Copies of this chain bind each other. A is one copy, B any other.
């Protein structure tokens, strides 16, 4: 039986929720430029793939991804001026998350994990959960985990994948981690030959509005994607998958 909620009938879904209290995973993505070599859907595609991997490990279900996310910012996503980047206002994303969380609680779901694949989403997803929990009140049985998937890469893996030093997750936009993960999960959507030669972005410790688009490499790639391999992607996917699964087991008492 499918682990994708959208492929289950309500009868199957209800039975599983009632009998098994499965962990439900909600991938939070974006439609955002990811350089010339990765597709616009990268964040939602990766978050969904990782959710399916973990759900398979812990007997969970994966809800349909949120395919649009908060406005891309220059220093972590290249900025919202790129063509193709399709972003929501903060309040819209907050409401979307709030509504979804409330509905899973109504279903009787008690274990919900929001897996964020788009750096800019973090605080609006957080506020959406906060508002839903307030609406549900202290008596709710629902517990929610929220995470950015890349935070589960182990230090050892990062040290090996970045032998010259890890540039930090913010700059890892359309760069080595995402490209390797895509090569692992969805290689047909990666065009390695188009990885640009742009030097890594070098951002100051502040933001400017209107965006200083000149700060961002024209390709939209914030640090080098060169050296990306499916093997590195597999290693990181294993880290992330095992890490989230372990976290889920620990926190939800599985």
Contact = CB atoms under 8 A, between A and B. Distances in A.
Contact of A208 (B87, B98, B127, B145): B145
A159 interface: no
A9 B147 contact: no
A5 B130 contact: no
Nearest to A64: B67
Contact of A91 (B91, B148, B207, B210): B91
A23 interface: no
- Counting chain B CB atoms within 10 Å of each CB, the highest count among A18, A104, A208 belongs to A208
Interface residues of A, number: 89
A197 interface: no
Contacts of A67: 6, 64-67
A39 B9 contact: yes
Contacts of A249: none
Contact of A146 (B34, B126, B207, B247): B207
Contacts of A146: 206-209
A160 interface: no
A76 to B, nearest CB: 11
A36 B11 CA distance: 6
A64 B194 CA distance: 24
Given A33-B10, A39-B6, A40-B10, A83 B107 contact: yes
A8 interface: yes
A115 B10 CA distance: 24
Interface string A208-222: 111000000000100
Which of A129, A194, A207 is the most central at the interface, judged by chain B CB atoms within 10 Å of its CB? A207
A198 interface: no
Given A87-B99, A133-B209, 5 more contacts: A5-B31, A10-B40, A10-B84, A92-B98, A206-B247
